[in-house]
Amino acid sequence: MTIGAAEANQIVMQTMLEPGTQIASLNPTYKQVWGIAENHGHEVKSFSLNPDKAWSLNIDEFKRIGKWQYQNHCTGES
């Protein structure tokens, strides 16, 4: 149990992110996750949705901002 969403977000990020982890954050967005990540030494890169294409994700832009490792959040294995 937490006292609010801010504390819950911080606990999740502290639990799931290893030191130096790079994360992607939608921009513009609520900046809490961005701030928590930077305060704990993680690199944050942003990506945008395309308003001219029904707010779709530009996959090329997303790939360009970093090499991504997808984890199985149930087990923590890559």
- Name the pLDDT band for 68 (thresholds 50, 70, 90): low
Cβ-based burial of 36 (10 A; exposed 0-12, middle 13-18, buried ≥19)? buried
Whether 74 maps to a domain, the answer reads no
Whether 71 maps to a domain, the answer reads no
Three-state secondary-structure class, residue 18: coil
Give the pTM: 0.64
Whether 60 maps to a domain, the answer reads yes
Whether 44 maps to a domain, the answer reads yes
- Name the pLDDT band for 52 (thresholds 50, 70, 90): very high
Q: How far is CA 17 from the centre of its chain?
A: 10
Domain count, the chain: 1
Please give the residue range of the domain that contains residue 9. 5-64
73 vs 10, residue with greater confidence: 10
pLDDT in tens, 5-49: 889 988 988 898 888 888 888 888 878 888 899 988 998 988 889
